[in-house]
Amino acid sequence: KNQVEQSPQSLIILEGKNCTLQCNYTVSPFSNLRWYKQDTGRGPVSLTIMTFSENTKSNGRYTATLDADTKQSSLHITASQLSDSASYICVVSDRGSTLGRLYFGRGTQLTVWP
């Protein structure tokens, strides 16, 4: 069964600290993996996308890694800011069907305290 599991479910850190969010998936055949940021009451916004051949991708203070062999990804946030408080969602695309499916994780709720 194709699934996307994220951990931790929630995380609280102090402003300025770093943190790492995890994503494990069983989606096959794999096409790409995205990390989305969803602010409270808003729609998700894409942060990074990685294909099978890419193992790291940065977007400012956000760095995503991908290990396609172990089917694991992480999102590292450096020097956190209050505006980083949001839900971070891991989304994996397959490439096997005509539709092309997206599989969503439940997200990690990050809270940054001053």
Partner 1 sequence: EADIYQTPRYLVIGTGKKITLECSQTMGHDKMYWYQQDPGMELHLIHYSYGVNSTEKGDLSSESTVSRIRTEHFPLTLESARPSHTSQYLCASSEALAGASTDTQYFGPGTRLTVL
Q: Which residues, including other chains, have CB under 8 Å from residue 9's CB and lie 6 or more apart?
A: 106, 108, 109
Q: How many residues bind partner 1 (CB under 8 A)?
A: 29
Task: Give the SS3 label for residue 93.
Answer: strand
In angstroms, give the least distance from the CB of 110 to partner 1. Answer: 13
The nearer residue to partner 1, 17 or 52, going by C-beta atoms, is: 52
The nearer residue to partner 1, 46 or 81, going by C-beta atoms, is: 46
Q: Computed over its alpha carbons, how large is the radius of gyration of the chain?
A: 14
Enumerate residues 73-102 that contact partner 1 by CB under 8 A: 89, 93-102
